A and B are shown apart, each in its own frame.
Chain A
Amino acid sequence: MKTTQPRDKPNVIPETFPPPQISIWRHQHILDLDSFTKEEIDLVFEITDAMMEVLGREIKKVPTLRGTTVATVFYEPSTRTRASFELAAKNLSTDVVNLDIPKSSVTKGESFLDTLRTLQALGVDVIVLRHSQSGAPYLAAQHLDISIINGGDGWHAHPTQALLDLYTLRRHFGDLTGLKVVIIGDILHSRVARSNIWGMSIMGCKVVLCAPPTLLPRELDNFIIRCHLSGISKEYKLEAALQEADVIMPLRLQFERQQSRLLPSLREYIQLYQLNSKRLSLAKPNALVLHPGPINEDVEISPEVAHSAQSVIEEQVTNGVAVRMALLYLITRGKR
């Protein structure tokens, strides 16, 4: 049986020697975790450990990627992903261009690909892309020579968020094999859930998806079978799902993507699916609470749970910078 670490003890990172081989890394782009192996995710974690050390310094900057340029191109609003990528890039001494879409030539009708091609021609090495259309980063990766990092595409994928979630779990549990993770709520619209399903399945977690039937995509069963994903199950009743849980991740109810009639009423959703202290007590005593943010306080999570000792929501944000530093380090290639 797996036990969580007592919360007052410092995080223990398992020391691996010899370190994993970098030669297993095959990615030019970070599009989704479906193309990752467990060894590659372990490699990202290993590099992330080193980046965490940089973040712990008084001067959080290393000269590693001097001379490379990263552009953030966000067609959808974002606070943490964009700021996190910008800080990650700057910590590694890259130059950063933030394309402000509403003030860019996109408003004059410049196409998606032309916008990205312009950035490529300007000498950008990596584009971090967020787009409301699922698959947009794949299109970009097909047509450009430079690296694309998916910063969230539609309902489809948010691989860097999933990696930082997995890394946060690793800091607390060490080994992720057999951890019971309960993902609650708006799974239908959640790219975070989709990437986490891949990542957690690869790392050997048991994932329980818990939501009202209207928010659990019907094609999920086929998807799980077709992709040979193991350890994924569905549960409509939250109280049942939370039994023996090591990790609980309520998702933001995405009002901006809600079509009508998916929920009878918000109040009913809160009554049945909000993670509150009483429900949290059904999980293992040291279960961790994660949330990809931003939070609708008092909707999917109660304020006392969001700010409780079991919540690692702020830690996720810090870890996110280190994970993104590791990914930037791994995908930038030689120029000379």
Chain B
Amino acid sequence: MLEKIILSSEDIQRALVRIAHEIVERNKGAHELVFVGMQTRGVPLAKRLAHFIQEVEGITIPVGALDITLYRDDLSSLNLKPIVQRTDIPANITDKRVILVDDVLYTGRSIRAAMDALIDLGRPKSIQLVVLIDRGHRELPIRADYAGKNIPTSRYEEIQVYIKEIDGRDEVAILNRQENRL
């Protein structure tokens, strides 16, 4: 399987800093923000974004983790259920601006599940979506408010995001599964 690096550690850092600034700009500050990272790799990304903004704005921003497994739309077709990871939102999200963070935006189905999950937890003033990579192929009317990089892909390709806190390094690679499809 061929793996091509499309984002280096520096690229990821720059993209996150830019997104952090865009978030503050669009929301005119950071006082109503709650960051929610989607399990698994969205969580460290959310923490990093919140950390940048805290340094610039000088206020503490709550960061939570969200697992969408219980809201997936394909559970009844799976024979082996996925593991349910921790959901831990440290603040009441009602009347807050929730910044939802994920690594890759693809069909949009996990974001749909995440929005349902969030709305079960409260009534946020708004939900805004941050993704590191938008790879296209949407199946639902969902778009990212902030994207690190748009990467047009084919369905036979796979985007692999490596995050230092989990994988030991920061990197985004594209894998072609086509030659393995015999």
Residues of A within 8 A of B (CB): 15, 17, 19-23, 25, 43, 46-47, 49-51, 53-54, 57, 59, 61-68, 92, 329-330, 332-336
Please tell me if the beta carbons of B80 and A23 are within 8 angstroms of each other in the complex.
yes
Chain A residue with minimal CB distance to B85?
Answer: A19
A25 and chain B: residue at smallest CB distance: B80
Q: How many pairs, one residue from A and one from B, have CB atoms within 8 Å of each other in the complex?
A: 63
Residue interface mask B69-90, A partner, CB < 8 A = 1: 1110001111111111111100
Contact B85 A334 (CB under 8 A): no
**Contact between B86 and A333, CB atoms less than 8 A apart:** no
Residue of B nearest to A19 (CB): B83
Q: Which 10 A-B pairs have the closest CB atoms?
A: A50-B84, A62-B70, A336-B77, A64-B70, A334-B79, A22-B83, A53-B87, A19-B83, A334-B77, A334-B78
* A219 CA to B85 CA, complexed, in Å: 42
Contacts of B120 in A (CB 8 A): 57, 59, 61-62
Measured CA separation A232–B41 after assembly (Å): 43
Question: In whole angstroms, how far apart are the Cα atoms of A50 and B66 in the complex?
Answer: 11
CA distance A49 to B67 in the complex (A): 12
Given A57-B120, A59-B120, A63-B71, the answer on whether A47 and B78 have CB atoms closer than 8 Å is no
| 21 A–B pairs (Cβ distance < 8 Å), ordered by A | A19-B85, A20-B83, A22-B82, A23-B80, A47-B83, A47-B84, A50-B70, A50-B84, A50-B85, A51-B84, A53-B87, A61-B120, A64-B75, A92-B70, A329-B81, A329-B84, A332-B81, A334-B76, A334-B77, A334-B78, A336-B76
Neighbour of A53 across the interface among B77, B88, B166, CB < 8 A: B88
Centre residue among A54, A59, A63 by max chain B CB count within 10 A: A63
Give the residues in chain A near B85, CB-CB below 8 Å: 19, 50
- Cβ-defined contact, B86 with A50, below 8 A: yes
Interface centre among B67, B71, B76, B87 (most CB of A within 10 A): B76
Q: Which residue of B lies closest to A326 (CB)?
A: B84
A228–B121 alpha-carbon span in the complex (Å): 47
- B95 interface residue, CB < 8 Å from A? no
Residues of B within 8 A of A (CB): 67, 69-71, 75-88, 116, 120-121, 166
Q: B76 contacts A330, CB within 8 Å?
A: no
Given A62-B120, A334-B76: A22 in contact with B81 (beta carbons within 8 A) = yes
Q: Which residue of A lies closest to B80 (CB)?
A: A22
Chain A residues whose CB sits within 8 angstroms of the CB of B166 once the complex forms: 17
Cα distance, A62 to B163, chains bound together (Å) = 30
Residues of A within 8 A of B82 (CB): 22
Given contacts A19-B85, A23-B80, A50-B67, 9 further A-B contacts (CB under 8 A): A17-B166, A20-B83, A22-B80, A22-B81, A50-B70, A53-B86, A68-B76, A329-B81, A334-B77
Alpha-carbon gap, A13 to B120, bound state (A): 24
Would you call A62 and B80 a contact (CB within 8 A)? no
Q: Who on chain B is nearest to A62 by CB?
A: B70
Chain B nearest CB, measured from A79 CB (Å): 27
Instruction: Kindly state the separation between the CA atoms of A43 and B84 in the bound complex, as whole angstroms.
Output: 10
Q: Collect the chain A residues with CB atoms within 8 Å of residue B79's CB.
A: 333-334
Q: How far is the CB of A177 from chain B (nearest CB, A)?
A: 23
Contact A54 B83, CB 8 Å, known A67-B76, A334-B76: no
Q: In the complex, A25 Cα to B88 Cα: how many Å? A: 25
The closest CB in chain A to the CB of B113 belongs to A63
Q: Give CA–CA (A59, B121) in the complex, Å.
A: 8
CA separation between A49 and B83, bound complex, in Å? 11
Other-chain contact of B116, A15, A50, A63 (Cβ < 8 Å): A63
